[in-house]
Amino acid sequence: MNKKVVCFGGGSAMPKAILEPLTKYPVNITSITSMVDNGGSTGQLRKDFSVLPPGDIRRHILALSKAPQWKKDLWNFRFGREEFDGGHRGHNFANVFIAGIEISLKDYSKALEIIHKFMEVSDKALPATIEQTQIYAKLENGEVIKGEDEIDVPQKHNPNLKIKRVYLKPEVKAYQPSLETIIEADLIIIGPGDLYSSTIPCLLMKGMKEAFKKTKAKKIFVCNTMTKLGETNDFSVLGFANEIEKYMGCSLDFVIYNTEIPPKERIKEYKNKESGILKTVKVDEKLDNEKFISSNILIKKGPVVYNPEKLVKIIMTLI
């Protein structure tokens, strides 16, 4: 019987680094994404139609899809000239498609079935919750900021202030099918991705901590390669892992991190293209090498990101 693997993450990092290469292995995949995205096309659809945010789950659907290329191109097609907060322009076809089905059926679970069928996904992409909520962050000076977009790209607060904690308001229950997959999993993979705006929001729903404590699955965290302004300034590998364990409510079995230091010019080029990127994540001294798995696993040139095939190969050896 194939192993059951559950992958957590919002944004685009985890789908590219984990989901796409994982589909080539004989495993049953369930991906779980946060439902707090409120920027760009997604944010506008939330405001206009009170739908659940489609932006992150559409990326998971695409990563798991076995559909022909024309469907994948259509899924990513962006149209219109309307400009949204943050400088985003136009709506993404998949966002409108997902929102439209949700509005038409008034049943998100049924909408998911149609979306999976249309994009020919045999694995599962699930939301962490199907209740409306927003993420808030309390800073070290006591200030509270609202919204995934403001945490992700600080516009209204000092990004040098550390985040002390994040939470959801209103509090919401985790999606029951997602909880069930966690409990039944053989392996759970968390990250990589922006810590407070993409990864940890997947863990905040009521019921998540209990499911993590109940499951017998091995729990792996894939640490980010770079720190990010406003979220993980000066974070180390251990700093990342400690935050994940705090919000999970239990210990990780393994933490995978990169040890390769790219040339300064390559880092500079990456920072110029990706706003908010700071520097490579610090490696702590005397890490437990049975829990903390180190390797040179970056792509050879270009962005300072993981080589997906190398990364997933390491993960598969830990199963």
Q: What is the pLDDT of residues 89-111, one digit of tens each?
A: 778 899 999 999 999 999 999 99
Tell me the two tokens of residue 34. 């946060």
Inform me whether the pLDDT recorded for 82 exceeds 80: no
CA distances (Å), origin 250, targets 9, 167, 247, 257? 18, 18, 8, 20
Question: Do 16 and 66 belong together in one domain?
Answer: no
Question: Do 311 and 207 belong together in one domain?
Answer: yes
Phi (first) and psi of residue 98, to 5 degrees: -65, -45
Inform me whether the pLDDT recorded for 288 exceeds 70: yes
End-of-domain residue from the set 96, 127, 158: 127
Question: Do 94 and 13 belong together in one domain?
Answer: no
CATH number of the domain within which 219 lies:
3.40.50.10680
Question: Do 15 and 113 belong together in one domain?
Answer: no
Inform me whether the pLDDT recorded for 77 exceeds 80: yes
The helix (H) or strand (E) run that includes residue 81 is: strand 78-83
Give me Rg for the CA atoms of the chain.
Answer: 19
- What letter does residue 2 receive in the DSSP assignment? P
For residue 294, the model assigns a pLDDT of 95
Torsion of CA 109, 39, 64, 205, to 10 degrees: -50
Indicate whether 58 belongs to any domain: yes
23: amino acid identity, one letter: T
Question: Do 249 and 287 belong together in one domain?
Answer: yes
Indicate whether 76 belongs to any domain: yes
Spatial CB neighbours of 147, under 8 Å, sequence gap ≥ 6: 38, 39, 134, 135
CA distances (Å), origin 8, targets 15, 62, 72, 275, 276? 9, 15, 22, 24, 23
Question: Do 256 and 303 belong together in one domain?
Answer: yes
Q: Return the minimum-mean-pLDDT range out of 24-33, 56-65, 85-94, 178-187.
A: 85-94
Range of the domain at 241: 3-35+172-318
Indicate whether 136 belongs to any domain: no
For residue 291, the model assigns a pLDDT of 97
Asked if 256 and 314 count as a contact pair (C-beta separation under 8 A), the reply is: yes
End-of-domain residue from the set 69, 97, 127: 127
Q: Which residue has the tokens 């792996």?
A: 220
Indicate whether 135 belongs to any domain: no
3-class SS of residue 213: helix
Question: Do 177 and 112 belong together in one domain?
Answer: no
The pLDDT of 2-26, averaged and rounded, is: 95
Question: Do 123 and 188 belong together in one domain?
Answer: no
Question: Do 308 and 256 belong together in one domain?
Answer: yes
Asked if 295 and 258 count as a contact pair (C-beta separation under 8 A), the reply is: yes
Average pLDDT, the chain: 95
Closest Cα to residue 292, out of 241, 256, 246, 251? 256
Question: Do 22 and 67 belong together in one domain?
Answer: no
For residue 87, the model assigns a pLDDT of 62
Question: Do 42 and 11 belong together in one domain?
Answer: no
Indicate whether 96 belongs to any domain: yes
Distance from C-alpha of 251 to C-alpha of 244, rounded to nearest angstrom: 9
Domain count, the chain: 2
Question: Do 99 and 178 belong together in one domain?
Answer: no
End-of-domain residue from the set 127, 160, 185: 127
Whole-model pTM? 0.96
Asked if 139 and 126 count as a contact pair (C-beta separation under 8 A), the reply is: no
What is the pairing mode between strands 187-190 and 3-8?
Answer: parallel
Indicate whether 158 belongs to any domain: no
Asked if 115 and 71 count as a contact pair (C-beta separation under 8 A), the reply is: no
- pLDDT, one tens digit per residue, over 255-286 is 999 999 999 999 999 999 988 999 999 999 99
